[in-house]
Structure 1
Amino acid sequence: MFTKILIANRGEIACRIIRTARAMGIKTVAVFSDADRSALHVRTADEAVHIGASAPTASYLNLEKIIDACKSTGAEAVHPGYGFLSENDTFCRRLGEEGIVFIGPPVEAITSMGDKITSKQIAEQAGVNTIPGYDGILEDADQAVEKATEIGYPVMLKATAGGGGKGMRIARNEQECRDGFERAAGEARSSFGDDRLLIEKYIEQPRHIEIQVMADQHGNVVYLGERECSLQRRHQKVIEEAPSPFLTPETRRRMGEQAVMLAEAVNYTSAGTVECIVDQEQNFYFLEMNTRLQVEHPITEMVTGYDLVELMIRVAADEALPMCQEDIQLKGWALECRVYAEDPVRDFFPSTGRVTVYQPPYEDMETVRLDSGIVEGSEISVYYDPMISKLVTRGEDREEAISAMQDALDEYVIRGVATNMNFLSALIAHPRFQRGELSTGFIDEEFACGFRDTKTKVDDPDIPVVVAGIVHRLYMDRAAKISGQMAGHERRVEDSWVVVVGDVHKPVSVKPFQADCGYRVDYKGKNYRVKTDWQFSQKVFHGTVNNQRFCLQVSRQGLGYSILYRGLRTDALVMPPGVAELHRIMPAKAAVDLSKFLLAPMPGLLVKLAVRAGQEVKVGQELAVVEAMKMENVLRAPADGKIAGIAVNLGDCLTVDQVILEFA
């Protein structure tokens, strides 16, 4: 067994690998860029080596610097995690030349499965179901249109290398095909250094289901069940679960057996994932094989009991798998939510900056598990993927796992940067999700007009109003005690209040119960008996409402309160009835007119300016492209007009709401 391994990655996956290595008694070496000098994975590892500037090409993608770090620290093996160099056959080959073990598959498997065209051909030869498409590399946009016409729209354009939703576009007509070719090639070039694209038929209403395989160097190959990964946005997985609520045991068995056939066809070893598209009749088609650990591997661990990172390390050390196919049983249900540094309300644009508050939910590794790469004070950088942690819950059945996830999301507090946790809560609570009626188009269909956290549907939307009344009453009780400390100057707190949400006035009565330290709230003719031990400094409000346990996040915003419950954000002012009537007639502050400006919707690098001063533009015309966290974001003209002036230069690092150009 190895005595020291190097983790050629960062963030939560580096921390996760370190945790298993430490449990195995193996020392770890972290590598870090300028932006990650104070990162959690650097502080957690036994040793850390600086490998370059913040840009991935200068650090985490620089294989020679990582090899030098192995030599200088005496690391015998490298675990690549996922992303970066995890599926880079040149890196794997160079490690072998230096006598360093790659904790992953052999270079031949990476080469053959890393190219989507080659992998599809091998899958067909191995007897695996495949999707109709064109076997060659697309030369340009014209050929993409030609092949799309032959295959029939809709089609999928995607990079031959990499994954994670980068370099992928759906095209339903010729214009989308041309535009998609340029965008997909640009993202692939930026993320993987390889802009080759292929094209294939896009299956409508598909489910994305993948099979986890594990193979050793002694000819043993097993599959560890499936993961449902259908909830995606821009081809990036958002929520995964194991097992799938859709598959029958027979379909699961057939998918697993085909995944093993493919692994055997390429002499695969280590952990790998065979991804499939499944239609509504449970016909499944090979999509690709990821020759690395998957982001969503924890849910497989939760339902099988096997540590996949440990198995990878043992296989790399030439140990045989400790189980056969008959030993693998799926027990319970697990969900994973990917927590991203992005703002769902602002079209999911990335968010960067310092994490000022970080309060994770209680983690017991049996019901709740959190794989995180940040702590309070961590910096979320513009240079890397926006995923900052993975929240995983397990239950004896799907309903129990969902309930645990809802509570964990309500308890998980991150402030200083925007996150998608309100969106995750809304997805988990969605009736269609709870019924298990999923497809890769779920988010586009159910949130076609975008996400608004003030419009999220919850079982009892009155709970935030009730809690706002109680929290305000607690503040007023404390104020009364402070101001009434002198004899004869006692101050009585009123029971009647008005909770103002937007322009809606909600009268409530809040009365304390002296006997049990609780409150009775009367609202809309209903009585709520609330018990809580909440204190003013706490970010999460725990309590019971009519003997039902609940939790939500509370923060004081000036004179008001912001409450987050099951993804629903409620901004409220609480006032005496007389003050509320005066507030009702106060004039609203006029919004600033910014329609004459194109503003940067996110922090990022300006990689393209498609217009010049004085140019006439049409609605929908491309104006600029901003690259943030490995994704290219196209900014288009909101209306016909003329460019009055350009306020930035190509290559500038933009901040949120920075003026890019002005319309005449």
Structure 2
Amino acid sequence: MFDKILIANRGEIACRVIKSARKMGIKTVAVYSEADKEALHVEMADEAVCIGPAASNQSYLVMENIIKAIKDTGAQAVHPGYGFLSENPAFFDALAEIGVEFIGPETLAIKAMGDKIESKLLAQKAGVSTVPGYTEVIKDTDHAVEIAGKIGYPVMLKASAGGGGKGMRVAYDEAECRDGFERATSEAVSSFGDDRVFIEKFIEEPRHIEIQILADTHGNTLYLNERECSIQRRHQKVIEEAPSPFLTPETRKNMGEEAVALAKAVNYRSAGTVEFIVDKDQNFYFLEMNTRLQVEHPVTELITGIDLVEEMIKVADGQELSIKQDDIGINGWSMESRVYAEDPFRGFLPSTGRLIKYRPPVESDTVRVDTGVYEGGEISMFYDPMIAKLITWGKDRAECTENMKRALDEYYIRGVGHNISFLNAVMSKQRFIDGTMTTNFIAEEYPDGFDASMVPQKDPKNLVAVACFMKRMEAEREVMISGQMEGGYGRQLNDEWVVQYNDEKFEATVTPNPTDGYDVDISGTMLHIRSEWTFGEPLFFADINGTEICVQIDALPVGYSLFHAGAQATVKVLTKRQAELNDLMPYKAPPDMSAFLLSPMPGLLLSVAVEEGQEVKAGEELCVIEAMKMENIMRAEKDVIIKKIHASAGGSLSVDEKIIEFESDD
């Protein structure tokens, strides 16, 4: 067995690999860019080596720097994680030249499956069902339109070397095909250095289901059941689960056997994933094979009890798999939520900055957190915006979902925007509860985007009771202040309050319960609330009429900001006189910024398509902003005249920074 391995990656996957290696008694080497010098994976590893500047194409993608780190540390094997060099056959060859094992498949499989065009042809030869499409290289935009017309709209344009949703566009007509081809090509070059794009039929009402495979060098190839990955936004997976609530045992077996056949066709070794698109009748078609560990691999681990990273290391060491196909069962249900540093209320745009407060839920037999960040750390604009993967387990899908919703309530993050409200909202949708989602779920459920009104608190009175509990505790503490025990302010505790909950008002009476906690009468509804909450704690755990609840708390100058089940509420607990005065407070309107195009995210201003004095029609391009390697086109919402351009192409932008000023309508 190896004594020392190097992890050619960063963030949560590097930390994940370190944990398994440590369990196996193997020392680890972390590599890091200058931006990651204080990252969690650097702290966790036994050794760490700097491999270059912040930009990934100057550090994590530079093979020479990683090879040098291997030689300098004496690592005997390399785990590539996912992304970066994980599916680069040249990296495998470079390691082979210096006698270092690659913890993954060999060159043949990487080359064959890493190219979406070649992999589709191989799948067809192996008897695997494939989606109708054009597998030759598309020459130019006109050629793309011609091919799309023959296949029939809608079509999917994909970067041949793509992944992670980058270099991928759906077109429903010729205009979208032209624009999609140009954008897919541009993103493909930017992200992968490969401008090849291919086209295939876009299957409507699809489900995205993938099969986890595991193979050794002794001829053993297994499938470890499936994962449902249909909850996606812009082709990026958001929530994954295992098993799928859709597949029958027969379909599962057929998909697994085809995945194994494909793996054997390329002499696959190590862990890998064969992705399928499945229609409403459970017909399935090969999409691609990922010759690496998948982001969502933990859900497979939780239902099978198999540590995939450990198995990968053993296979790379030449060991034979100790399990057989009949040994692989399905124990319970598992689900993974990708917690991203992005703002769902601003179109899911990336959010960067310092994690001022970071408290993940406590891990247990039913809750797992795979993360690469910590309180005080930075979310950099240079890399993927993932904060963590939150994984839960339950004996069935309903229990697993409830465990996930509870864990999301307990995930306390401040300093950057995050998508926890959105994740909670998705899981409350009836289609999700029923398991009848497709890859169009998010687009169909949130056609106009996502906003706070889409996650209303089911029972506001619970949060009103929480606010009253805290206010009563504050009042009791105040009367204990020296000099306040007799007369004046501390003479008598107020029991009657007016609670301002967002735009609603509730009358509440709070009295101590003879046993414990408080009885809160809210407009005629009696709630008994018990809690061991103490001042300063950001999480309020309580029992309200026998139901456990967790509420996140941020103190405001007057009142509290409360977060629960994805919803946010501003709550003020006032005396009747204070409530009367509060109603007289003037409203301060925010400044009118309608004459400006503001940057909706931190990022790089790639290009400005207009000039000062130019007349622009609604829908025309104004500029392109790149963030996390994704291009975002800013278009005019109405006919405008450009008054002034405040930012230059090539410059970095902060959130709400002025880019373009328009002539006023006045």
Alignment TM-score > 0.5, same fold:
yes
Does the Cα contact within 8 Å between 1:217 and 1:315 map onto a contact in 2?
yes
* 1:7-31 deviations in Å (ceiling 9; x for gaps): 0000000000000001101110000
Q: In structure 1, how many angstroms separate the alpha carbons of the residues matched to 2:141 and 2:511?
A: 69
* 1:103-161 deviations in Å (ceiling 9; x for gaps): 00011100000010100000011110100111111122221111111111111111111
Match in the other structure for 1:58: 58
Match in the other structure for 1:418: 417
Matches within 5 A, 1:455-534: 455-482=454-481, 485-489=484-488, 490-513=490-513, 515-534=514-533
Does the Cα contact within 8 Å between 1:484 and 1:491 map onto a contact in 2?
no
Q: In structure 1, how many angstroms separate the alpha carbons of the residues matched to 2:12 and 2:491?
A: 52
Matched AA of 1:158: K
Match in the other structure for 1:281: 281
Matches within 5 A, 1:645-656: 645-656=644-655
- Identity across the alignment (%): 58
Matched AA of 2:559: G
Please list every run of 5 or more consecutive structure 1 residues that lacks an aligned counterpart in the other structure. Answer: none
> What's the CA shift for 1:457?
4.0
Distance 1:524 1:441, change over 3 A: farther
Does the Cα contact within 8 Å between 1:426 and 1:457 map onto a contact in 2?
no
Matches within 5 A, 1:277-426: 277-364=277-364, 366-426=365-425
* 1:285-339 deviations in Å (ceiling 9; x for gaps): 0000000000000000000000000000000010011111011011100000001
Q: In structure 1, how many angstroms separate the alpha carbons of the residues matched to 2:636 and 2:276?
A: 38
Q: In structure 2, how many angstroms separate the alpha carbons of the residues matched to 1:467 and 1:328?
A: 46
Q: In structure 1, how many angstroms separate the alpha carbons of the residues matched to 2:576 and 2:110?
A: 69
Does the Cα contact within 8 Å between 2:421 and 2:455 map onto a contact in 1?
no
Matched AA of 1:572: V
Q: In structure 2, how many angstroms separate the alpha carbons of the residues matched to 1:457 and 1:257?
A: 45
Match in the other structure for 1:563: 562
Q: In structure 2, how many angstroms separate the alpha carbons of the residues matched to 1:503 and 1:406?
A: 26
> What's the CA shift for 1:519?
1.1
> What's the CA shift for 1:172?
0.8
Q: In structure 2, how many angstroms separate the alpha carbons of the residues matched to 1:462 and 1:57?
A: 52
* 1:364-415 deviations in Å (ceiling 9; x for gaps): 2x21111010111111100000112100000111111111111111111111
* 1:568-614 deviations in Å (ceiling 9; x for gaps): 11112221223223322433212211011110111001111111111
Match in the other structure for 1:428: 427
Distance 1:459 1:253, change over 3 A: farther
Matched AA of 1:235: H
Residues 281-290 or 418-427, more deviating: 418-427
Q: In structure 2, how many angstroms separate the alpha carbons of the residues matched to 1:275 and 1:458?
A: 37
Does the Cα contact within 8 Å between 2:621 and 2:636 map onto a contact in 1?
yes
Match in the other structure for 2:447: 448
Does the Cα contact within 8 Å between 2:502 and 2:569 map onto a contact in 1?
no
Q: In structure 2, how many angstroms separate the alpha carbons of the residues matched to 1:610 and 1:433?
A: 41
Match in the other structure for 2:129: 129
Residues 64-73 or 421-430, more deviating: 421-430
Matches within 5 A, 1:174-323: 174-323=174-323
Match in the other structure for 1:595: 594
Residues 639-648 or 287-296, more deviating: 639-648
Q: Could you say what secondary structure the match of 2:51 adopts?
A: strand
Matches within 5 A, 1:148-167: 148-167=148-167
Q: In structure 1, how many angstroms separate the alpha carbons of the residues matched to 2:454 and 2:508?
A: 22
Q: In structure 1, how many angstroms separate the alpha carbons of the residues matched to 2:182 and 2:361?
A: 42
Residues 137-146 or 205-214, more deviating: 137-146
Matches within 5 A, 1:22-171: 22-171=22-171
Q: In structure 2, how many angstroms separate the alpha carbons of the residues matched to 1:469 and 1:146?
A: 66
Residues 489-498 or 146-155, more deviating: 489-498
Q: Could you say what secondary structure the match of 2:166 adopts?
A: coil
Q: Could you say what secondary structure the match of 1:94 adopts?
A: helix
Q: In structure 1, how many angstroms separate the alpha carbons of the residues matched to 2:436 and 2:479?
A: 52
Q: In structure 1, how many angstroms separate the alpha carbons of the residues matched to 2:371 and 2:354?
A: 15
Does the Cα contact within 8 Å between 1:534 and 1:541 map onto a contact in 2?
yes
Q: Does 1:21 align with 2:21?
A: yes
Match in the other structure for 2:610: 611
> What's the CA shift for 1:54?
0.2
Matched AA of 2:268: Y
Matches within 5 A, 1:570-589: 570-589=569-588
Does the Cα contact within 8 Å between 2:355 and 2:376 map onto a contact in 1?
yes
Q: In structure 2, how many angstroms separate the alpha carbons of the residues matched to 1:506 and 1:194?
A: 60
Q: In structure 1, how many angstroms separate the alpha carbons of the residues matched to 2:456 and 2:434?
A: 16
Q: Could you say what secondary structure the match of 2:649 adopts?
A: coil
Matched AA of 1:24: M
Q: In structure 1, how many angstroms separate the alpha carbons of the residues matched to 2:471 and 2:245?
A: 43
> What's the CA shift for 1:560?
2.2
Distance 1:289 1:353, change over 3 A: same
Q: In structure 2, how many angstroms separate the alpha carbons of the residues matched to 1:535 and 1:287?
A: 52
Matched AA of 1:127: G
Matched AA of 1:197: V
Match in the other structure for 1:3: 3
Matched AA of 2:189: R
Residues 288-297 or 92-101, more deviating: 92-101
> What's the CA shift for 1:193?
1.4
Matched AA of 2:306: Y
> What's the CA shift for 1:465?
2.2
> What's the CA shift for 1:488?
3.8
Matched AA of 2:405: Q
> What's the CA shift for 1:454?
4.3
Does the Cα contact within 8 Å between 1:483 and 1:491 map onto a contact in 2?
no
Cα RMSD, aligned residues only: 1.3
> What's the CA shift for 1:459?
4.1
Q: In structure 1, how many angstroms separate the alpha carbons of the residues matched to 2:260 and 2:469?
A: 58
Q: Could you say what secondary structure the match of 1:167 adopts?
A: strand
> What's the CA shift for 1:189?
1.5
Match in the other structure for 1:662: 661
Q: Does 1:629 align with 2:651?
A: no
Q: Could you say what secondary structure the match of 2:214 adopts?
A: strand
Matched AA of 2:594: S
Q: Could you say what secondary structure the match of 1:52 adopts?
A: coil
Q: Could you say what secondary structure the match of 1:6 adopts?
A: strand
Does the Cα contact within 8 Å between 2:485 and 2:491 map onto a contact in 1?
no
Does the Cα contact within 8 Å between 1:156 and 1:199 map onto a contact in 2?
yes
Q: In structure 1, how many angstroms separate the alpha carbons of the residues matched to 2:454 and 2:280?
A: 30
Matched AA of 1:226: E
Q: Could you say what secondary structure the match of 1:345 adopts?
A: helix
Q: Could you say what secondary structure the match of 1:510 adopts?
A: strand
Q: In structure 1, how many angstroms separate the alpha carbons of the residues matched to 2:240 and 2:206?
A: 15
Q: In structure 1, how many angstroms separate the alpha carbons of the residues matched to 2:350 and 2:33?
A: 20
Does the Cα contact within 8 Å between 2:479 and 2:485 map onto a contact in 1?
no
Matched AA of 1:202: F
Q: In structure 1, how many angstroms separate the alpha carbons of the residues matched to 2:183 and 2:493?
A: 61
* 1:490-546 deviations in Å (ceiling 9; x for gaps): 332222222223332222222222x33311112242111110011111111101011
Distance 1:120 1:527, change over 3 A: same
Give the number of equivalent residue pairs.
662
* 1:13-65 deviations in Å (ceiling 9; x for gaps): 00000000011011100000011010000010000000000000000011111
TM-score of the two chains, using structure 1 as the length reference: 0.98
Q: In structure 1, how many angstroms separate the alpha carbons of the residues matched to 2:143 and 2:393?
A: 47
* 1:199-244 deviations in Å (ceiling 9; x for gaps): 1111111110000000000110000000000000000000000000
Does the Cα contact within 8 Å between 2:425 and 2:454 map onto a contact in 1?
no
